[in-house]
A and B are shown apart, each in its own frame.
Chain A
């Protein structure tokens, strides 16, 4: 079964065409790294799959039209820069929203235990009762990942989850993702600027407002695809295909 089928997807913001003619099919259980330059529509694609932006075309998730898909199938880790640090909240409360789909007034014992287990899974149990506003970028990413995993999603959508995370945290993050994917057979779509992550994925989607290349890393991360996506090759070939990391 296809985890995700996108047919002729187009997204427009006023005069700006963010995505046009995007079509792809992602097999269930795939780990897709999405790469492309800034403004390539990577985040917009994830938002369209989540139903957050109006679009033309068709999106089907596990065979169902998007409108009929269960929101609990999706685990979403947004870019943490959108987060309001002045909101008074504890990490455990944010994790619980992944189960409850609303903000908890008071956590039941069961919800708290599940939230703690999710935090433990990503090595963040010690953060449970810490105010969100005082967590570092890397700590927040773990909490958001715990929030996404607590509902045991079939489709994980991650928007640059390694941003602001140190190298050790980054390796941990991929380890948690791989462990969950192995255990639950989930499908992962992850936007990344990290060539190593792209190489570890089962599929790579190279895009720049449209699909430039999609397939296993060795087929998608070609010089031609990268030249098309980034406009000029620049360091992209070094970063994504071989050579040393900048």
Chain B
């Protein structure tokens, strides 16, 4: 049997499984949101915020496992509150954002370790959350992700003001753009997106979802709108290819998606390096 035929059959077979369909839909929705947010994360140098919030999600998941509830419903408010706290410290004190993230990052990991140690019987579940699993996405997760995406539509009209403040916060403030309110909104969206992506990608790699597509697109873009469109496209494509690879090769889903994203980044880097520009 030719190899291509085998792959084709395997792909078609994958699409017939409800768990894979759910993972695919969840992955597509989350990748659209992450692709939209990634340009802001990259240009505002918020990559570390993604890492910090992923660890806050870890603490939330651990709390959920400890209390034997649905971990994501604990991770969601916990991560959101940590995002607000980091933004608050940045806006209201003279501490830099990376310092604020460093504090809450450590606090979250410490809390997560304590919660997890008290939930010994559920460590197996925790592994699924750490690395992502195709089997993990349930129908209720799809509803939550769908609702978030609807909410994210409200972010679309804010693209212009957010991009303006990303370029130059002072110019945007001088033009009475509510920059501080938008900062909180962006942090909140990043937090919620990270938590919802956790089941597909896993806590350890979820921050990459918000960085690599944006970074790859940045290497190839001359304008911020071009960067946003390319980031959306790369995010979507790498999620589709990554999930398919995860099914076919029996790899952890998060790792597969991130490896495809890294491949795109490598290609973009090679193009930039060898063509001497964008």
Q: Indicate whether A and B interact.
A: yes
Q: Hey, what's the 0/1 contact readout for B216-230 against A, CB within 8 Å counting as 1? A: 001001111111100
Q: Would you call B122 an interface residue if the criterion is a C-beta within 8 Å of the partner chain's C-beta atoms?
A: no
- Tell me, yes or no, whether A74 is within 8 Å of chain B by CB: yes
Say which residue of A14, A76, A87, A100 sits within 8 Å of B160 (CB atoms): A100
Whether A87 contacts B164 by the Cβ 8 Å rule is no
Distance between Cα atoms of A87 and B226 in the complex (Å): 12
Q: In angstroms, how far is the closest chain A Cβ from the Cβ of B268?
A: 13
Q: Find chain A residues with CB under 8 A from B185 CB.
A: none
Interface-forming stretch among A56-64, A77-85, A174-182, A189-197?
A77-85
B160 near A82 with CB under 8 A, answer no
* B168-A83 in contact (CB<8A): yes
| Interface-located stretch among B26-34, B79-87, B172-180, B244-252 | B172-180
Contact for A86 among B43, B159, B222, CB less than 8 A = B43
Nearest opposing residue in chain B for A86, CB measure: B43
- Listed residue (B43, B94, B224) with the most chain A CB atoms within 10 angstroms of its CB: B224
The answer on a CB contact under 8 Å between A89 and B224 is yes
A82 vs B168: C-alpha distance when bound (angstroms): 8
> Is A97 in the interface zone, CB < 8 Å from B?
yes
A102 lies within 8 A of B177 (CB): yes
**CB-CB under 8 A for A87 and B174, given A93-B223, A103-B160, A131-B222:** no
Contact partner of B177 (CB less than 8 A), chosen from A74, A93, A101, A105, is A101
Query: Inside 8 A of B166's CB, which chain A residues have their CB?
Result: 87, 103
The verdict on B171 contacting chain A, using a C-beta distance below 8 Å, is yes
- Identity of the chain B residue whose Cβ is nearest the Cβ of A101 in the assembled complex: B175
Q: Does B161 contact A (CB under 8 A)?
A: yes
The reply to whether B160 and A89 contact each other, CB–CB distance below 8 Å, is: no
CB–CB B171/A76 < 8 A: yes
Minimum CB distance partner of B226 in chain A: A88
Give residues 134-179 of B contacting A (CB, 8 Å): 159-164, 166-168, 170-171, 173-177
Hey, which chain B residues are within 8 Å of A83, CB to CB? 168
A71 beta carbon closer than 8 Å to chain B = yes
Residue among A14, A51, A76, A84 with max Cβ neighbours from chain B (10 Å): A84
CA gap between A69 and B106 in the complex, in Å: 45
Report A188-207 CB contacts with B as 1/0, cut-off 8 Å: 00000000000000000000
Tell whether, in the assembled complex, residue A87 and residue B161 are in contact, meaning their CB atoms are under 8 Å apart: no
Give the nearest-CB partner of A67 in chain B: B176
Question: A6 contacts the other chain (Cβ, under 8 Å)?
Answer: no
Chain A interface residue number, banded: 20 to 34
**Interface hits, A98-138 → B, CB 8 Å:** 100-106, 131
Asked whether A52 is an interface residue with its Cβ less than 8 Å from the other chain, the reply is yes
- One digit per residue, 1 when the CB lies within 8 angstroms of any chain A CB and 0 when it does not, for chain B 51-84 equals 0000000000000000000000000000000000
A50 within 8 A of B: yes
Interface membership of A211, Cβ < 8 A:
no
Closest to B94 in A: A14
Chain A residues within an 8 Å CB radius of B175: 71, 97, 101
Q: A47 CA to B218 CA in the complex, in Å?
A: 32
A105 touches B225 (CB 8 A): yes
**A71-B168 in contact given A86-B43, A88-B227 (Cβ < 8 Å):** no
A90 proximal to B (CB < 8 A)? yes
Q: Contacts A82-B168, A83-B168; is A103 near B174 (CB within 8 Å)? A: no
Q: Which residues of A contact B228 (CB under 8 A)?
A: 105
- With a cutoff of 8 Å between Cβ atoms, the chain A residues found around residue B164 in the complex are 97, 101-103
* A contact residues around B221 at 8 Å (CB): 88
B174 A74 Cβ-Cβ under 8 A: yes
CB-based closest 5 A-B pairs: A102-B160, A103-B163, A101-B175, A103-B164, A50-B174
Q: A86-B218, A103-B159 are in contact. List 18 more A-B contacts (CB 8 A).
A: A50-B173, A51-B173, A71-B174, A71-B175, A76-B174, A78-B171, A82-B168, A84-B167, A87-B43, A88-B221, A93-B223, A101-B176, A102-B160, A102-B161, A103-B162, A103-B163, A103-B166, A104-B160
Residues on B facing A (Cβ under 8 Å)? 43, 94, 159-164, 166-168, 170-171, 173-177, 218, 221-228
Q: Could you write out 29 A-B pairs with CB less than 8 Å apart?
A: A51-B176, A52-B174, A71-B174, A71-B175, A71-B176, A74-B174, A78-B168, A82-B168, A84-B168, A86-B43, A87-B166, A87-B167, A87-B224, A88-B221, A88-B224, A89-B223, A93-B224, A94-B167, A97-B164, A97-B167, A97-B175, A101-B175, A102-B160, A102-B161, A103-B162, A103-B164, A103-B166, A105-B228, A131-B222
